[in-house]
Amino acid sequence: MIVRPTTNWLRMLFVWNGSVLKTIVPQLLIILAISVLAVWTSGHVFGSKVPLDTVPFPLVGVSLAIFLAFRNNAAYARYVEARQIWGRILIAARALTSQVINYLPADGDGFERKLFVQRLIAFVYALTHQLRNTDPTVDLARYLPAAEARELAGMEYIPVALLDRLRLMLSRAGRQRGEGEPLLWILDAQVSELAAAVGGCERISNTPIPFAYGVLVHRTVYLYCFMLPFGLVADLGMATPLVCVFVAYTLFALEAIAQEISEPFGTDPNCLALNAMTRNIERSLLEQCGEQLPEQLQPCDRYNVS
């Protein structure tokens, strides 16, 4: 994800990093070539005039606008929901750490508070890796005992396994202290919130926007842009390539943006900055425990901090 300081209108015109322009340049070049061909041949293909004018394009444009609006709204809704879920993860992790620090006994009384927080941080990293289909081994090894890290590495749902271990630690500590069910209910509510967040992330990750919608929008956009030069050349003449490339840029860019944000846990520049958010949660929990903080990551256009 890219987060930029506010820039003036002139610099915004020439922004490259984070723009989808780099991904649609080949398509724009094709539209430019078709437009130049339409101007060069005066709208003829193989000696025959292409029977197009400006009349059908506004009609098709209305339906195309509806398709693109639906696709972009659905994609942005997934993006916003994913960000809200990660906000709840941060809140629940902080609350659970605070409750453990203040409600449960110290390490000398049998509760390994440091291990608990380490498992909680490992849970956040494991969830990030699960959503991005990457290897969590290195991050698990930083916070978990070697034997436990090796055991978890062979599991498919590592975040769920770590939540089970956190819940078991809380159950044992509550029974040992003799606090009974009220304290366990308070602590378990935060664990349940984290479990709900895992399910919410999995739902977004495993349920993409129906493929038929993407195919419909994709085909409509490309056919519209391919035919547009032959419909405008009679009226615009030499200006046809400029107008067609501009129209194609807006349509191709909207489709590309929707494609990126519809998968919010990906690694494209406009996806969620999961690495930075995970590091932020890690730093927050360590600070609550009085531990040394790792370096903060900033969302930018580099893959390793996106």
Query: 292: which residues sit within 8 A by CB, 6+ positions away?
Result: 286
Cβ-count burial 109-131 (b if 16+ within 10 Å, e if not) = eebebebbbbbbbbbbbbbbbbb
**Tens digit of pLDDT for each residue in 90-148?**
999 999 999 988 887 665 556 788 899 999 999 999 999 999 999 999 999 999 999 99
> For the chain, how long is the longest CA-to-CA vector?
91
Query: Taking the mean position of all CA atoms in its chain, how far away is CA 8?
Result: 27
Token pair 């078709």 is found at 34
**Tens digit of pLDDT for each residue in 62-100?**
888 888 888 899 999 999 999 999 999 999 999 999 998
164-178, 183-197, 218-232: which has the minimum mean pLDDT? 164-178
Question: d(Cα 245, Cα 230) in Å, to the nearest integer?
Answer: 13
> By the 8 A CB rule, do 37 and 240 touch?
no
Query: From its phi and psi, is residue 38 left (phi > 0), alpha (psi between -120 and 50) or beta?
Result: alpha
DSSP β-ladder status, 44-45 and 48-49: antiparallel
- Identify the pLDDT of residue 45: 81
Q: What average pLDDT does the segment 250-262 reach?
A: 92
22-36, 70-84, 131-145, 175-189: which has the minimum mean pLDDT? 175-189
Token pair 């509760």 is found at 111
Query: Taking the mean position of all CA atoms in its chain, how far away is CA 10?
Result: 28
Question: d(Cα 136, Cα 150) in Å, to the nearest integer?
Answer: 11
Closest CA to 248 of 57, 17, 76: 57
Q: Where are the alpha helices (DSSP H) in the chain?
A: 9-13, 21-40, 56-103, 113-132, 137-143, 146-153, 158-177, 181-206, 211-236, 240-261, 274-288
Query: 150: which residues sit within 8 A by CB, 6+ positions away?
Result: none
Question: d(Cα 56, Cα 302) in Å, to the nearest integer?
Answer: 43
Closest CA to 119 of 68, 171, 160: 160
Question: d(Cα 35, Cα 29) in Å, to the nearest integer?
Answer: 10
Structure pTM? 0.86
Query: From its phi and psi, is residue 117 left (phi > 0), alpha (psi between -120 and 50) or beta?
Result: alpha
pLDDT at 4 over 60: no
> 140 exposed, middle or buried (CB, 10 Å; 0-12, 13-18, 19+)?
buried
Question: d(Cα 148, Cα 151) in Å, to the nearest integer?
Answer: 5
